[in-house]
Structure 1
Amino acid sequence: MAGRINEEDIALVRERARIDEVVGEYVALKNAGSGSLKGLCPFHDEKTPSFQVTPSRGLFYCFGCGEGGDTITFVEKIDNLSFVEAVQRLADKVGVQLRIVDDGRPGIEPGLRMQILEANEEAARFYQAQMTSAEGLIARQFLDGRGFGRDAAEQFGIGYAPRGGHVLRDHLLAKGFAPKALVSSGLVRDKGWDFFQGRVLWPIRDSGRSVLGFGARRVHDDDRIPAKYVNTPETVVYKKSHVLYGLDLARSAIGKKRQAVVVEGYTDVMAAHLSGVETAVAACGTAFGNDHARLLQRLMGNNGALSGEVVFTFDGDAAGQKAALKVYQGDSEFISQTYVAVEPTGLDPCDLRMQKGEEAVRELVARRIPLYRYVMNNVVAGFDLDRADGRLAAVRAAAPLVSSIRDSSLVSGYLRELSQVVGMDVDEVRREVARARRSPAPMPVREMAPDPQPAPAAEAPAGLPWPDPSDRRLDAERGFLKLALQHPDLFDGQWDQVEVEDLRHPAYRALFGALSRLPAFQGSPQAWQQAVADAITDPTVRQLEVALLVEPVLAAEPDRRYAAAYAAQVRLRSLTDDIANLKSRLQRTSPTADRSAYNAMFTDLVELEAMRNELLQSGPAAVDVP
C-alpha cells in the first residue's frame, strides 16, 4: 500500500494515546504536583528522578539528558522506531484505523506491524522449544562445541528451525496467523516454505524486547543454502542497518556505564555477556554503519559532550585494519570517544573465552586503545622510517588523523606519540599537523580501503548549542519564551515589541523566530502547541520547545502585566548589550582619523541610550521579574 497517514488520524492517535499510560508501561511514575508526574529516565541512568511527564500537554521531558517530545516521540525513541512505525503501533494500541492518503509513497498496511511482531514472538517460542527435540540435538552440539550450555541457550533464547519445510508455517497457521502476515514477516517464503530450515537461530530484538527477526547459522553439511549465516529479509520491522543483536540485554548497561562494545558475531555477544561485558552488541548481516552509531549514541545519552565510549573488537589482520578504518571514517557520528580492542592472537571473543577463559574477554576490552591511535599506527607502518623522506611522508600521512581529533586536550599527547613513532622532533610534527588543519586532505588509506573518504573535519558543526538554564544572563529570554509558549494569549500580536534580534542565545532566537512567523494566537492551546512544533525544523530547537513547555512558570497565575515585564526585560538587556558593544567600537575608533564613522556611531549611541532610558521609565520594565 502506497501513501501517507491521514493527518486527522495522527491527531486522533495523539489524543487517544495518553502519554502517562504509554510512558507508564516503561517508567514507574509518581505524582510530582502541579499536574505533572516524575520517574527515572529510561534513556539514561540516574538515581534521582528528572524525567517529567505532563499529561495535560501530552509531553515528556528529561531535565537530565534532554530527551523530550510527545507520545509518538516517546515510542519512537524507546523502541527505535520511525515516526510512521510509532504511529502505527499506537494506533493498534488505542484502536484507531489509519487512513492512507495516496501520494505515491510506500506505506504500511494498518495493523500489519503488530501482526508481524506477534508472529515473530510466537516463532521465537516455537524455535526455542525445538532445541529439546531429537532433531535439535545438532543445535545443542553446536552450542556445546562453543562453550555454551543449556542455561546460556535459554538466556539468549537460542532456537532451532526444523528441516521439514512447512513445520513453522503449519504451527503459525494453527495459531490463527494470516498467511500474508507470515510472508510479510519473512518467516515464510512466497510459495509457502519456511524461510529458515535446519539452522540454529538467534532472535534479534529491539530495546523493548520485541522480536524483529532472526539470525540463522548453518549446521548441516548438506544445507542447500551455502551461506554460513542467513538473516531475516528486510521487513517493515526488520531493517538490518537499524538493528543490533544483544541490544535488549545490553541497553540498561549501555546507559548506566555509558559504554558500548561492538563485536562481530552472535556467539561473540554471548561470550562477552557471559564474561561480564554486559554492554556487548553486534550488527546483523551487515557492517556497522552510521544508523547503528546514532542508535548507540542515543542510548548513551547525546548531551553534546565527549562522554562515554564505543569499543570495537577487530582481528589484528588486514581485514581488521580495513574494518577499523571504515569505522574511523564514520566516527563523526559519535559524540562518545571511540576505541579499538584487538586480540594479538587473532581470537574473537567466543574463541578467546573458550581457550583462555572469561577473564581474558574482560581484559580484551580493558586493553582498548583509542581508534585514532590504532589507525595512526597502521598508517605510519606503511612508510620506511629509516629514511628522512619516509619519516616526513609518514608524518604528513598521519597529520590529518591527529588534526581531526575532536578532544583538544588529547592533541598534545598524540603529537608527542607520533613524533616518537616516526623519530622526528615534536615541533616539526606540530607544524605538519597545523598545515593539515589549515588545508584538510583526504585520509591516506592506500590498500587498506579501496574507497577512501575524507577524514572528518575537526570541530564539525553539531547544530545549535543548548542554552544553559542556570545562566542568569539569559533568565529574561527563557522566562519570556516559556510565557510565549505556555500562555500566548498574554501577549499582543507584536509580542510586546520584542524582535527576534533581541534574543541573544542562538537557540532562543531560533525558537522565537519560529513563533514570530506564526499567525497571532487564537483557538486552543493544543492547536497552538502543534502549530509551533510544525514550524520548527532544527532538532535542538524542537527539544528546547518541549523543555520550555513543561518547565513551570514561576508565577502561579501569570497575567498580561507579568508577561509585559518579561518582554520589557528582554528589550532592556538587548539594548544594554548593544550599547556596550557600540562603546567598545568607539574606543577602538579614532575621532580624528575616521571622524565620520566616529560621529555616526556616537549618534547611534545617543539614540540607544535614549531608548534605554525611556524603557527604564516605563511601567513594565520597572517590574522586577525573576
Structure 2
Amino acid sequence: MAGRILKDDVESLRRQADIVAVAGDYTTLKRAGSRYKGLCPFHTEKTPSFTVAPDGNFYHCFGCDASGDIYDFLMRIEGLEFPEAVEALARRSGFTLRYEELSARDRQAIGQRSRLVEVTAAALEFFRTTLFSAEGEVARSYLKERGFGRDDARRFDVGYAPNQWEALAQSLTRSGLPAEDLIATGLVVRTERGGLRDRFRGRLIFPVHDPGGDVIGFGGRILPGLDYGDFDPPKYLNSPETPLYKKTRVLYGVPQARAEIVRAEEVLICEGYTDVMALHQAGFANAVATCGTAVGLEHLRMVSRYAQRVVLAFDGDQAGVKAAERAWEAARELAGDGGGADLDLRVLVLPDGRDPADLVREVGADGMRAAVADATPVVPFVVRHRLADADLTTEAGRTAALREALEIVGREPDLDLRREWARTEVAARVGVAYEFVVRSAARLGVELDAHEGVAPVGPRPGGGGGAVGGVAALDRARVRREREALRTALQAPQWLPDEWFELVEDDFTHPVARQVFATLQAAGGAGVELTAVLEAAPDDALRGRIRELALEEEPVPLDAEVAAWRIRSLLADRLQAEERALKQRLQTLHHGRDREELVAVLAQLRELEQRRRSLTAVGE
C-alpha cells in the first residue's frame, strides 16, 4: 500500500462495482422489477425487506432502516473502515487502485484489514505452492488416500505447511510483509528470544474464507507418517481469534457452497474440512463446516439468509446430542431475535465412529441423499435421546420423563407439530395415552389441545391501536401524499407534470418531507442523478430516507396520470388554504367602506377556486 487512495479511483470503483453481486454473497437476492430483494443481512426477518438498486449501487432495508451505498454495505457487514472497504471491493472487482504518497507512519495507519488480508493471501499462495512441490508429496499422498485429487485440492485452495518451524515466516518477511502483521493474523508467533515461529508446521492446510472470498483464517491437520520429533501436536489446529477471524461467525466452504445452498434451499453443516470436500465431491455442494466450535447463533444467522432447512451432520454420541441441543437453542434465539424466520433444523445421525465423508463413501450418493432427506427434526431428536436415558420401568421414572419430554416439546412454536410430537414421540415412547399427555401438558402450561393449556402470551389480534379518523387520519393521509409525490420525483421524474415546478418547501408539512424536497432542489431538481441528491443531503439520516424513497415499491402502477394527480393534489391543498384565508378576510370587510377591496378579494377567490377545481378534476 502506497498511501491514501485517490478520490477519483474511489468514485470510479463505486460506479463500476456491482452491489447485487456483493450483497448476494451475504443474502439471496431475487429480481423485483428494476431492483433486487432479499432477507436483510443485518437483522433477522421472515419477509424480505432488504432492497438493492443496481443503478446507483445502493441499498435500503425497510425493516431495520439500514441504508447506504456499496462501501457502506461492506463497512457494516464486515466491520471495515472506509479504506478497507474500498480495498476489499477493489480486490473482488479486479480494480487497480492508485494511492497518494504518504509517510511510513501514515501508511501504517491505513487499512489494517487490507494489510492482514494481504498477509493471508500471501500465506495461502505459499501453502498451495508447497503442496504441489516435492516437499508436499506427503500431503498429496494423504489426500489421495482419502480419495481427493488435484481438482478437489484446488477447488478448496488446500495447501501444505512444511515440517519446519520458520518456513512461512521467513518466506513472507523476505517478501516485505511486516512481522507484526504476520503475528496479527495468527500465522506466526514471536518466541521468547524475539524470533518468529510458524503456528502451522507439517500440516495439511485448509484456508477459511469470508463470504466475499477473502482468506481470514486457516485450519491445519497433522499427517500420518511425518516425524514431529519430541513435539506431540494436536490432530487439528485452527487460527486463533484475530481481527479477521472469529470462529463463532465463520463457516468453512461458504463461497464454494453458497450457490448450491440457494438452489437446494438446504444447507448441510458438518464438523470437518475433509467432510465438506468429500460431500462436494459426491454431489452435495451445499455442505459447509464449523471451524472447531459448536453451531451457534451467528452461524445460523448467516445460513438463514440462503436457506431455511438446516441439516446437522453430527455424531450420534452424547457430544453430538449436546451439539444439536445447542444449535436448537441458537435457532430459537434467532427466531425470537427481531422476528426472524423459524429454521427447519434437522439432525442427520451418523453411525458410531463414522463421519460424513465415511458415510457418503459407504452408502453412495443416492444413499446419502436419502439419509439427508430423512434427517430427524431437532425436537424429536432431542426427545428420543432424553427418553433413551430415562427410567421408564417405574411410575416415578415415567412421570419425570413425561415432564421433561413435554418441556422440550413445548418449545416448538408450531402447535400442529407440537401435538404430533406429543402423540408420536412422547405418548408412544413413554407408554401412556395421548389424552393423559394433554392433561399433563395443561398442568405444566404447555398448550397441546385447542381447549387446554395456556394461551400464548402476546398482543391480541386486532387489539390496541390508536385513534382513527378525524384530524389524525387526515394528517396521515396528507403525509402519505407528500411521500408519494417525493417518491415519484425520485423514481419517475419523467412523469412529473408542470405543476411540480410550482411547489415550494412550505407545500410539505412533514419535516422530513420538507428536508427531502429542499435537498432535491439544492441538487438541481427532479431528474438529476440520485448520487447528486445524496451528496446534497446534510447528514446520513436524511440520505437514508432518500434512499428509502428511491427504492420503495409503488402500491399501484405508476403512469403520467397518477404522477400528475399526486403533484396537483399538493398544489390544490395550498390553493384551498389560500381560499380559506381569503374567506376569513371577507368576514372582516364592510360592503360599503371596503367595497374596492371586497371586489378584489372576491375576484381572487373565484380565480383560486377555478384553478383548484381544474387541478382536482384530473383523475376524477
TM over 0.5: yes
Q: Which amino acid aligns with 1:419?
A: A
Which secondary structure state, in structure 1, belongs to the residue aligned with residue 207 of structure 2?
strand
1:292-331: per-residue Cα shift (whole Å, max 9, x none)?
Answer: 111111233xxxxxxx201111111111111111112111
Question: In the TM superposition, what are the counterparts of 1:441-520 in structure 2 within 5 Å?
Answer: 481-484=483-486, 515=512
Distance 1:458 1:270 in 2: 44
For residue 425 of structure 1, the aligned residue among 423, 426, 433 is 433
**By how many angstroms is 1:495 displaced?**
7.7
Q: Does the alignment pair 1:244 with 2:251?
A: yes
Q: Does the alignment pair 1:368 with 2:368?
A: no
Which secondary structure state, in structure 2, belongs to the residue aligned with residue 135 of structure 1?
helix
Q: Which residue of 2 aligns with 1:227?
A: 234
The answer to whether the Cα contact below 8 Å between 2:261 and 2:306 also exists between their aligned partners in 1 is: yes
**By how many angstroms is 1:187 displaced?**
2.6
Q: Which amino acid aligns with 2:350?
A: E
Say if 1:112 and 1:562 are closer, same or farther in 2 by CA, change over 3 A: same
Distance 2:431 2:157 in 1: 53
**By how many angstroms is 1:153 displaced?**
2.4
The answer to whether the Cα contact below 8 Å between 1:244 and 1:282 also exists between their aligned partners in 2 is: yes
1:30-49: per-residue Cα shift (whole Å, max 9, x none)?
Answer: xxxxxx966898999xxxxx
Q: Does the alignment pair 1:399 with 2:406?
A: yes
Q: Which amino acid aligns with 1:198?
A: G
Q: Which residue of 1 aligns with 2:84?
A: 88
Say if 1:515 and 1:432 are closer, same or farther in 2 by CA, change over 3 A: farther
Number of residue pairs matched? Answer: 491
Q: Which residue of 1 aligns with 2:274?
A: 267
Q: Which residue of 1 aligns with 2:220?
A: 216
**By how many angstroms is 1:62 displaced?**
9.9
**By how many angstroms is 1:252 displaced?**
0.7
Say if 1:432 and 1:527 are closer, same or farther in 2 by CA, change over 3 A: farther
Say if 1:364 and 1:625 are closer, same or farther in 2 by CA, change over 3 A: farther
Distance 1:353 1:374 in 2: 22
Distance 2:221 2:256 in 1: 21
**By how many angstroms is 1:246 displaced?**
0.8
Which secondary structure state, in structure 1, belongs to the residue aligned with residue 256 of structure 2?
helix
Q: Which residue of 2 aligns with 1:152?
A: 152
Distance 1:419 1:131 in 2: 57
1:135-160: per-residue Cα shift (whole Å, max 9, x none)?
Answer: 32322233233332333223322211
Question: In the TM superposition, what are the counterparts of 1:269-284 in structure 2 within 5 Å?
Answer: 269-284=276-291
Distance 1:86 1:554 in 2: 38
Q: Which amino acid aligns with 2:369?
A: R
Say if 1:309 and 1:381 are closer, same or farther in 2 by CA, change over 3 A: same
1:162-203: per-residue Cα shift (whole Å, max 9, x none)?
Answer: 123332233333444333333333333233222222111011
Q: Which residue of 1 aligns with 2:420?
A: 413
Distance 1:414 1:323 in 2: 21
Distance 2:441 2:547 in 1: 37
Distance 1:416 1:120 in 2: 54
Q: Does the alignment pair 1:70 with 2:77?
A: no
Distance 1:222 1:348 in 2: 26
Which secondary structure state, in structure 1, belongs to the residue aligned with residue 187 of structure 2?
coil
Which secondary structure state, in structure 1, belongs to the residue aligned with residue 134 of structure 2?
coil
- Over the aligned positions, Cα root-mean-square deviation in angstroms equals 4.8
The answer to whether the Cα contact below 8 Å between 1:146 and 1:354 also exists between their aligned partners in 2 is: no
Distance 1:552 1:225 in 2: 70
Distance 1:556 1:343 in 2: 63
Question: In the TM superposition, what are the counterparts of 1:524-563 in structure 2 within 5 Å?
Answer: 524=523, 525-526=533-534, 531=539, 533=541, 547-548=551-552, 554=558, 556=560, 562-563=566-567
Q: Does the alignment pair 1:338 with 2:345?
A: yes
Distance 1:204 1:544 in 2: 35
Q: Which residue of 2 aligns with 1:289?
A: 296
Q: Does the alignment pair 1:198 with 2:235?
A: no
Q: Which residue of 2 aligns with 1:121?
A: 121
Distance 2:569 2:309 in 1: 46
1:549-582: per-residue Cα shift (whole Å, max 9, x none)?
Answer: 899993559889724748999xxxxxxxxxxxxx
**By how many angstroms is 1:265 displaced?**
0.9
1:420-451: per-residue Cα shift (whole Å, max 9, x none)?
Answer: 222223233234444545699xxxxxxxxxxx
Say if 1:261 and 1:165 are closer, same or farther in 2 by CA, change over 3 A: same
The answer to whether the Cα contact below 8 Å between 2:116 and 2:182 also exists between their aligned partners in 1 is: yes
Please tell me whether Structure 1 or Structure 2 has the larger radius of gyration of its CA atoms. 2
Question: In the TM superposition, what are the counterparts of 1:49-68 in structure 2 within 5 Å?
Answer: 53=53, 55-56=55-56, 58-60=57-59
Distance 1:13 1:395 in 2: 66
Distance 1:187 1:406 in 2: 45
Which secondary structure state, in structure 2, belongs to the residue aligned with residue 526 of structure 1?
helix
**By how many angstroms is 1:249 displaced?**
0.9
Which of 418-427 and 246-255 deviates more?
418-427
The answer to whether the Cα contact below 8 Å between 2:217 and 2:245 also exists between their aligned partners in 1 is: yes
**By how many angstroms is 1:264 displaced?**
0.6
**By how many angstroms is 1:345 displaced?**
3.5
**By how many angstroms is 1:257 displaced?**
1.7
Say if 1:347 and 1:25 are closer, same or farther in 2 by CA, change over 3 A: closer
**By how many angstroms is 1:214 displaced?**
1.0
The answer to whether the Cα contact below 8 Å between 2:565 and 2:616 also exists between their aligned partners in 1 is: no
**By how many angstroms is 1:69 displaced?**
4.8
Which secondary structure state, in structure 1, belongs to the residue aligned with residue 243 of structure 2?
coil
Distance 2:268 2:458 in 1: 25
The answer to whether the Cα contact below 8 Å between 2:60 and 2:66 also exists between their aligned partners in 1 is: yes
Q: Which residue of 2 aligns with 1:464?
A: none
**By how many angstroms is 1:400 displaced?**
3.0
The answer to whether the Cα contact below 8 Å between 2:269 and 2:311 also exists between their aligned partners in 1 is: yes
Distance 1:542 1:413 in 2: 49
Distance 2:40 2:540 in 1: 25
Say if 1:520 and 1:194 are closer, same or farther in 2 by CA, change over 3 A: same
Query: How much identity, in percent, do the aligned residues show?
Result: 29
1:478-511: per-residue Cα shift (whole Å, max 9, x none)?
Answer: 765344567599987788567xxxxxxxxxxxxx
Q: Which residue of 1 aligns with 2:14?
A: 18
Distance 2:555 2:55 in 1: 13
Distance 1:620 1:378 in 2: 76
Q: Which residue of 2 aligns with 1:470?
A: none
Distance 1:429 1:476 in 2: 56
Distance 2:8 2:418 in 1: 53
Which of 361-370 and 518-527 deviates more?
518-527
The answer to whether the Cα contact below 8 Å between 2:276 and 2:288 also exists between their aligned partners in 1 is: yes
TM-score for both structures, normalised by structure 1: 0.65
Question: In the TM superposition, what are the counterparts of 1:104-119 in structure 2 within 5 Å?
Answer: 109-119=109-119
Distance 1:421 1:405 in 2: 18
1:325-360: per-residue Cα shift (whole Å, max 9, x none)?
Answer: 111211122532111110234411122234444444
Say if 1:566 and 1:249 are closer, same or farther in 2 by CA, change over 3 A: farther
Q: Does the alignment pair 1:349 with 2:356?
A: yes
**By how many angstroms is 1:624 displaced?**
7.6
Which secondary structure state, in structure 2, belongs to the residue aligned with residue 157 of structure 1?
coil
Runs of 5+ unmatched residues, structure 2: 25-32, 42-49, 91-96, 103-107, 336-340, 449-454, 460-475, 491-499, 524-532, 574-611
The answer to whether the Cα contact below 8 Å between 1:61 and 1:546 also exists between their aligned partners in 2 is: no
The answer to whether the Cα contact below 8 Å between 1:217 and 1:230 also exists between their aligned partners in 2 is: yes
The answer to whether the Cα contact below 8 Å between 1:496 and 1:567 also exists between their aligned partners in 2 is: no
